[in-house]
Chain A
Amino acid sequence: MGDNGFAAQLAEDLSEEDLRLVLSVFRTDVQRLTDTMAGAATAADGPAFRRAAHGLAGAAGAVGAAQLEAACRAAMAEAGPLVGLLAEIRAWGEAALGDVALVLTRLDGQG
């Protein structure tokens, strides 16, 4: 697991059904928002990039994907090349999606 305690709080607070739903929505958010950031990076649209990073930071924070959240917040604050920032966010995004898959597999195993 890329982030220690990923989804741990969610597992405590939510029913299995709700947990699956939230993680499913998170997975969609990661894909959608990194795609948006990629488009903004290509267009060198800093404000659009930062708006998407803000959304992804919130989503990551909500599920406990701490390193993805930190990368997004760093990207919101930095004025560096967007492509470089995007690469790091993508990496942490993929790690978070891996965590999601692990949690879902665990849930399937319990079910």
Chain B
Amino acid sequence: MSGVARVLVVEDTPTQAQLARALLVGLGHEVEVAETAGAALVAARDWRPDAILLDIELPDFNGMELMQRLRAEGVDVPVVVVTANASINAAVEAMRAGAVDFIVKPYAKARLAVTLGNALEKQALAAQLASVKARLDRGQFFGFIGACAPMQAVYRTIESVAASKASVFITGESGTGKELAAEAVHRASPRAGRNFVALNCGAIPRDLLESEVFGHVRGAFTGASADREGAAKLADGGTLFLDEIGEMPLDMQVKLLRFVQTGTFSPVGSSRLERVDVRFVCATNRDPMLEVQAGRFREDLYYRLYVVPVELPPLRGRGEDVLLIARHFLAQFAREEGRGFHGFSPPAEQALGQYGWPGNVRQLQNVVRNIVVLHDGDRVELDMIPRAVRRPDGAEGDRAEAAPPAAAVPAPGVAPAVAAARVVRPVAEAAEEEMAEIVPLALMERRLILAALRHTGQDVPRAAALLEINPSTIYRKLQSWRAEGLLPTG
């Protein structure tokens, strides 16, 4: 037997209790004695033994019932039943009731050592197995929801690579959770206490990208009225996530390559070299090698960044995960919106499971949000699901109508402040263009909301964030405009 264990002896006859105590202490264990089943329940809860040595006949209730009660209370401790020869049948019955072994009285110290050792070892193996199984069958991993085999592979890769500084290259269709994966790499790493800085290379005007990444000094360009730190500096000690890296202009790729190679950069307008310690995580929804072959992505930068690839599967390839994720969002949004939804009806679940989800998890998120905002009840019925999603043929349907599949909403606690700030300007510009004439306020509101939706690729939560209103407001407005015939109905 290895190590010291805490053994609870449940025995009402003092001679046997004293003998068991003496033998177990002699074997190096810690011992508590309970003279009744009731006292054993309390001790099992409070003292948390590693094993229980149990006499079946007890004054208040018997050992069988005790084992049942322990199980009902979630006390998972190996129980060795102590029995006299005459009651071997009772011992067999006890093992059927969950005891791991039995020992016949009178027992020698050596026999006790072997029996208890086996029980403890069995328990340790079961715990290890449960732990391994839990790791292999995880339904959640950082912000991810999903238990399918491809996602388990993603979790394992992220977990394996997190501790190193190796660059991670995430690929996957839009809406599959690339930013979530990048955050998971950061949060699982020793850098978790430092900044996670996300930059969407596709959302930043080309001429501003260098300044966004490396910062600038006062006077570097028109409007640069003060020194400003870029994402590289903000991410020092942490993680720099370059989303949509395939959108980065080639001239900027040269500068990024130098930064990746040397860890140094110069802010725009400065010749001063700055050194930082940054872990790079990149993402794209394109095939990076095809981009290299097409001459849109530098090969040397590709090999620098494509060290550990993480490929996120599309939602249509994730089987039952669709329902896991839908239920998760339903619970979350119902709570946020004060709705009574507790689940989906079987036909509703079938429709969700059959749909192709071209916008992936983000689209599913928006569909569930839409349902929760526009309906209420105990469960989501089939007719509450947008028509395009519940097509019986499982076709993907009209993406804009089914739900807006667009950019991710930053997760709480890891808000990509730099990226978020950059996308405000184009929306404002778009809105300004539409304000060339003075029109009724309601019309202006509709135009502004629709402009925000167009700008964000129909991503309601992101449009709402840009407009600084609740996503529910947009869903309600859309519903109302459709009802009034101001928008095509779906």
Spell out A's residues near B (CB within 8 Å): 9-10, 12-15, 18, 21-22, 25-26, 28-29, 51, 54-55, 57-59, 61-64, 73
The answer to whether B16 touches A58, judged by C-beta atoms less than 8 angstroms apart, is yes
Known: A13-B109, A59-B16, A62-B16. 15 other contacts (CB 8 A): A9-B106, A10-B19, A12-B109, A13-B23, A14-B23, A14-B26, A14-B109, A29-B14, A51-B59, A54-B57, A55-B13, A58-B16, A61-B105, A62-B15, A62-B106
A62 contacts B84, CB within 8 Å?
no
Asked if B105 contacts A21 (CB within 8 A), the reply is no
Q: Which residues of B contact A73 (CB under 8 A)?
A: 84, 86
- Is residue B247 contacting chain A, with contact meaning CB distance below 8 A? no
18 A-B residue pairs with Cβ-Cβ distance under 8 Å, sorted by A, are A9-B106, A10-B19, A14-B23, A14-B26, A15-B22, A21-B22, A22-B22, A25-B15, A26-B15, A28-B14, A29-B13, A29-B14, A55-B12, A55-B13, A61-B84, A61-B106, A62-B13, A64-B106
Q: How far is it, in angstroms, between the C-alpha of A54 and the C-alpha of B13 when the chains are bound?
A: 9
Partner of A18, one of B22, B55, B59: B22
Query: Which 9 A-B pairs rank lowest in CB-CB distance, beginning with the nearest?
Result: A59-B15, A13-B109, A18-B22, A26-B15, A58-B13, A25-B18, A61-B105, A62-B16, A55-B13
A12–B19 Cα gap in the complex (Å)? 13
| Chain A binding surface, main DSSP class | helix
Q: How far is A55 from B84 in the complex, measured between Cα atoms in Å?
A: 11
Pick from B16, B55, B108: contact of A9, CB under 8 Å: B108
A55 to B11, CA, bound (A): 10
State which of A12, A51, A58 has its C-beta within 8 Å of the C-beta of B15: A58
Q: Nearest B residue to A9 by beta-carbon distance?
A: B108
Measured CB to CB, the nearest residue on chain A to B57 is A54
Residues of chain B contacted by A63 (CB below 8 angstroms): 15, 19, 106
CB distance from B80 to the nearest CB of A (A): 16
Q: Which residues of B contact A (CB under 8 A)?
A: 12-16, 18-19, 22-23, 26, 55, 57, 59, 84, 86, 105-106, 108-109
- Which residue of the partner chain B has the closest CB to A76? B86
Asked if B13 and A59 sit within 8 Å, CB to CB, the answer is yes
> Whose C-beta in chain A lies nearest to the C-beta of B108?
A9
**Who on chain B is nearest to A14 by CB?**
B22
Q: In the bound complex, how far is the Cα of B454 from the Cα of A59, in angstroms?
A: 85
Q: When A21-B22, A73-B84 are in contact, do A13 and B16 touch as well, CB less than 8 Å?
A: no
Contact yes or no, A22 B12, CB < 8 A:
no
CA separation between A73 and B59, bound complex, in Å?
18
**Distance of A47 from chain B, by nearest CB (Å):** 12
Instruction: Given A55-B13, A61-B84, verify A22-B108 contact (CB < 8 Å).
Output: no
Complex CA distance for A10 and B105, rounded to whole angstroms: 13
**Whole-angstrom distance between the alpha carbons of A26 and B26 in the complex?**
19
Min CB gap A44→B, angstroms: 21
A10 to B15, CA, bound (A): 12
Asked if residues B26 and A13 are in contact (CB atoms below 8 Å), the reply is yes
| Interface pair B57/A62, CB less than 8 Å apart | no
B19→A22 contact, CB < 8 A: yes
With both beta carbons as reference points, the residue of chain B lying nearest to A77 in the complex is identified as B86
Inside 8 A of A58's CB, which chain B residues have their CB? Answer: 13, 15-16, 55, 84, 105
Q: Which of B12, B26, B84 contacts A57 (CB 8 A)?
A: B84
User: In the complex, what distance in Å separates the CA atom of A14 from the CA atom of B55?
Assistant: 21
Closest CB in chain B relative to A26 CB, distance in Å: 4
Residues in A whose Cβ lies below 8 Å from that of B19: 10, 14, 22, 62-63
If the complex has contacts A22-B18, A25-B15, A73-B84, are A62 and B105 also in contact, measured as CB distance less than 8 A? yes
Residue of B nearest to A58 (CB): B13
Which residues in B have their C-beta under 8 angstroms from that of A14? Answer: 19, 22-23, 26, 109
Nearest-neighbour CB distance to chain B for A36, whole angstroms, equals 12
By a CB distance below 8 angstroms, the chain A residues around B18 are 21-22, 25
Contacts of B23 in A (CB 8 A): 13-14
Say how far A16's CB is from chain B's closest CB, in angstroms: 11
Residue of B nearest to A59 (CB): B15
Q: How far is the CB of B220 from chain A (nearest CB, A)?
A: 84
CB contacts (< 8 Å) of A57 on chain B: these are 84
Contacts of A59 in B (CB 8 A): 13-16
Complex CA gap A64/B15 in Å reads: 12
Question: A25–B12 Cα gap in the complex (Å)?
Answer: 13
Question: In the assembly, what is the distance between CA of A29 and CA of B13, in Å?
Answer: 8
Chain A residues with Cβ below 8 Å from B26 are 13-15, 18
Among A9, A58, A59, max chain B CB count under 10 A is at: A58
* Residues of chain B contacted by A12 (CB below 8 angstroms): 108-109
Please report the C-alpha to C-alpha distance between residue A62 and residue B15 in the assembled complex, in whole angstroms: 7
B34 to A: closest C-beta gap in Å: 16
- CB <8 Å contact, A29 and B15: yes
- On whether the beta carbons of B105 and A13 are closer than 8 Å, the reply is no
Q: Which residues of B have CB within 8 Å of A29?
A: 13-15
Instruction: Chain A residues near B22: list those with CB within 8 A.
Output: 14-15, 18, 21-22
Chain A residues positioned under 8 Å from B15 (CB to CB): 22, 25-26, 29, 58-59, 62-63
Shortest C-beta distance, A48 to chain B (Å), equals: 11
Measured between alpha carbons, how far is A26 from B86 in the docked complex, in Å? 21
Indicate if the CB atoms of B12 and A13 lie closer than 8 Å.
no
Q: Which residues of A contact B86 (CB under 8 A)?
A: 73
A78 vs B66: C-alpha distance when bound (angstroms): 28
User: A100 → chain B, closest Cβ, in Å?
Assistant: 11
Chain B residue, CB-CB nearest to A23: B15
Min CB distance, A67 to chain B, in Å? Answer: 14
